[in-house]
Structure 1
Amino acid sequence: MTEKTVTAAIVTYNRLELLKESLAAILAQTKYLSHVIIVNNMSTDGTTEYLDSLNDERIVVYHATENLGGAGGFNQAVRLFGEQLQDDFVWLMDDDTIPEPDALSHLVAFTLDHPEVGFVNSQVRWGSIDGNPSWMNVTAPRAFTWQRYLIDTEEPAVEVVNSTFVSVMFSREMVAMIGLPQKEYFIWGDDMEYTNRIADIKRGYMVMNSIAVHKSKENTKPGDIVAEVDDSRLWRYNFEYRNRILTARRISRKEMIKVFSVAILRDLRKTLLKKNVAFRAKKLGVITRGLWRGLFFNPTIEYAEGLRQQKIKSLRGAEMDLLD
């Protein structure tokens, strides 16, 4: 059998030193790596000049001419993978992701051993290989499957419901079936929505031996507006709540009602009533505007040119059959 090939893809913005470290770690992978796509999201810190100076034939650079946001950057990266390259898998990560040298080989090996898999992602640590889990990259195990890991601690992977775009890999066939990441999300939540789409037809797994380090500034929980103390970050939560509602809507009406209710009863209520909440009035406006916009937000899913095939049946139908 011909060895499988992988395109790694990084979206970067003004983090040149971290980008250099991330790229070096990717190029040091022991097996399967064929290309590296780098989407430069209008960086102004010398990233453009650095990328233009590289002469490695494996590297494909895309300089954006407008601010695409993280979501638009990953949309463009997967589009380039689908339209310009012929590799079997695409492996996505931020510019502050430092994978271990064998991280990719473990992802591919598990996928080849389990061809029914839709996506695989690494176990992500924060700051260093010995650091705590990176909380923003921790995804929930699928209900009614996690109990077996209490019995068999030698399981090579844990089934998860979705994944962030920090060391996640999926196949060309999957891109053809579900399309591209939703660029209109701009920032936050595009990874969850996209891997939810994958998991609707094939399952996702966190491969335990595949390790990546996420060198984000802080190890914070995702989307915690109540605890947010940086006024300059609040604009991001407009997208968080809008995107969260659409992601839930695409799962089911029941899930949308649940997510909307949690946002009102937990986030809005805590922001209103909890003592010493920073920027209280501003946060209340962000939550209500974001939720309202989410009810009407429904951008079309795009496909890479020449890369589209019919979906297989949704697994949710099979789940409902089992529950009936």
Structure 2
Amino acid sequence: MSTATENNNQLAQADSMQDPTGTDQAAPAATSRKTREPIEHLAIVVVTYKRQELLGHLFDSYAALTCAPWRIVVVDNENAPETRELVEQTAARLDELWGATEPDAEGGRSRMVYAPQTDNLGGAGGFSAGVRRAFELGAEWFWVMDDDVLVMPEAIERLARWTDRYQVVQGSRLDYDGGPFFWQYQQFTTLGIPNPLAKADLGPTGAKRMNSLCFEGGLFSREVVRRIGFPDPRFFIYGDDACYGYLASKVTETVVVSDVILQRSRAIANWEVSGVRQLSSTSDTNRFYIMRNRGFFARYLREHGDYHRILFGVGTAATLAKELIRLAVVDRTFKTGVRQLVRGMRAAREIYRDSSWTPMPPVA
């Protein structure tokens, strides 16, 4: 049996995993959820934009958690009355279910905090604002995610197994159909691209070193934020999480683990490449930022002595080739898609040549 097949079986069975203590347990009563905090001052940070129905499903999955988070910070890039109402209703529901907590740095006791934005900051800006808000409230750990996922009931306990050893942990995920979802957790830093040869099988320990991160379930500590700063909002969308994981790997050991913590709740058209690897559909807007944000990544690589002009250029060519393949076999919007790829490459060059550019600063 191939390692990919073994990994598929491992992930597909993960939802029936035993409790990390090694014993099968039913979900604890609400009263026990009020006091159990296996990850100290854990803040969930979720970014949403015009997807109230998906957000509602995510909130329902929060209510099924067997351990309560300390805070849930909801960043609303739409600043919509419907989202505010949904958050207020869910806050009352969760506070009744779990009970209020100790005051945060601003004296609040509710577990859910609404953070509407005056402008659409994109995913990158939303996560930056959300992590900053949670940091200000006193969070010690940040568990970040989009609105189109569902959390597994035992997700917090599964992550807690690793937090005494690692400051950055990326849990595994299931796809929309319940099958395993493969994420490329290693990057070729000199090329500035994901490592296509990274093995899906995480081995007998259930963990492997990574130098990337995904803001779809990534977990990191306050100390990491102190040292590398908040996520860079200038990415707007795409690549901000991979860059943040790269920066985190420069200051601490970062790992991807086999414990399944999330399931995607939105189907996305894709082309199966091999085994669990897929090439998913994307938009022309994303195509622009995929190429444009290589300019930001190049600047960060340069800051840390990992930038090599020729090799990074090879990585850019490989990225462009991948996007052209995506256009050919998945999206089939060549006319508009190629135009956005070219625009993005030009914007990346401008970013790289910008003499006023500075990296995100550490947090005092």
TM-score, with length taken from structure 1 = 0.76
Q: How does 1:111-122 map to 2 (within 5 A)?
A: 111-112=163-164, 114=165, 117-122=166-171
Q: Is the 8 Å Cα contact of residues 184 and 299 (structure 1) preserved in structure 2?
A: no
Distance 1:283 1:12 in 2: 25
What is residue 62 of structure 2 aligned with on the other side? Answer: 26
Q: Shift of the alpha carbon at 1:110?
A: 1.1
Give the unaligned 5+ runs of structure 1: 222-226, 309-324
Q: How does 1:171-186 map to 2 (within 5 A)?
A: 171-186=221-236
What is residue 285 of structure 1 aligned with on the other side? Answer: 342
What is residue 205 of structure 2 aligned with on the other side? Answer: 155
Distance 2:346 2:119 in 1: 25
Q: 1:199 to 1:228 in 2, by over 3 A?
A: closer
What is residue 139 of structure 1 aligned with on the other side? Answer: 185
What is residue 94 of structure 1 aligned with on the other side? Answer: 146
Q: Is the 8 Å Cα contact of residues 243 and 297 (structure 2) preserved in structure 1?
A: yes
Q: Shift of the alpha carbon at 1:228?
A: 8.9
Does structure 1 residue 235 correspond to structure 2 residue 285?
yes
Give the unaligned 5+ runs of structure 2: 1-36, 96-109, 189-194, 272-278
What is residue 67 of structure 1 aligned with on the other side? Answer: 120
Q: Provide the secondary structure at the position in 1 that maps to 2:113.
A: strand
Q: Shift of the alpha carbon at 1:111?
A: 1.5
Equivalent residue letter for 2:47: V
Number of residue-to-residue matches in the alignment: 286
Distance 1:180 1:36 in 2: 18
TM-score, with length taken from structure 2 = 0.68
Root-mean-square deviation (CA, aligned residues, Å) is: 3.3
Q: Shift of the alpha carbon at 1:27?
A: 3.8
Structure 2 counterpart of 1:260, from 306, 309, 313: 313
Q: 1:287 to 1:40 in 2, by over 3 A?
A: closer
Does structure 1 residue 197 correspond to structure 2 residue 254?
no
Q: Is the 8 Å Cα contact of residues 84 and 114 (structure 2) preserved in structure 1?
A: no
Q: Provide the secondary structure at the position in 2 that maps to 1:48.
A: helix
Q: Shift of the alpha carbon at 1:240?
A: 1.9
Q: Provide the secondary structure at the position in 1 that maps to 2:43.
A: strand
Distance 2:322 2:69 in 1: 48
Distance 1:229 1:293 in 2: 27
Q: Shift of the alpha carbon at 1:283?
A: 4.1
Q: Provide the secondary structure at the position in 2 that maps to 1:246.
A: helix
Q: How does 1:217-228 map to 2 (within 5 A)?
A: 217-218=267-268, 220=270
What is residue 175 of structure 2 aligned with on the other side? Answer: 126
The Cα offsets for residues 150-193 of structure 1, whole Å up to 9 and x where unpaired, read as: 7x942132222211101111111111111100011111111111
The Cα offsets for residues 204-249 of structure 1, whole Å up to 9 and x where unpaired, read as: 111212331122441548xxxxx9987xx21333322221232133
Q: 1:235 to 1:87 in 2, by over 3 A?
A: closer
Q: Is the 8 Å Cα contact of residues 15 and 45 (structure 1) preserved in structure 2?
A: no
Equivalent residue letter for 2:159: L
Distance 2:344 2:299 in 1: 17
What is residue 6 of structure 2 aligned with on the other side? Answer: none
What is residue 162 of structure 2 aligned with on the other side? Answer: 110
Q: Is the 8 Å Cα contact of residues 77 and 122 (structure 2) preserved in structure 1?
A: yes
Counting aligned pairs with the same residue, the percent is 23
Structure 2 counterpart of 1:295, from 343, 352, 364: 352
Q: Shift of the alpha carbon at 1:13?
A: 0.6
Structure 2 counterpart of 1:37, from 73, 76, 99: 73
What is residue 249 of structure 1 aligned with on the other side? Answer: 299
Q: 1:284 to 1:236 in 2, by over 3 A?
A: closer
Q: Provide the secondary structure at the position in 1 that maps to 2:86.
A: helix
Q: Is the 8 Å Cα contact of residues 22 and 98 (structure 1) preserved in structure 2?
A: yes
Distance 2:226 2:323 in 1: 42
Q: Shift of the alpha carbon at 1:268?
A: 6.2
Q: Is the 8 Å Cα contact of residues 8 and 26 (structure 1) preserved in structure 2?
A: no
What is residue 317 of structure 1 aligned with on the other side? Answer: none
Q: Shift of the alpha carbon at 1:265?
A: 6.0
What is residue 168 of structure 1 aligned with on the other side? Answer: 218
Q: Is the 8 Å Cα contact of residues 67 and 156 (structure 2) preserved in structure 1?
A: yes
What is residue 215 of structure 1 aligned with on the other side? Answer: 265
Q: Is the 8 Å Cα contact of residues 124 and 138 (structure 1) preserved in structure 2?
A: no
Distance 1:191 1:229 in 2: 19
Q: Provide the secondary structure at the position in 2 that maps to 1:46.
A: helix
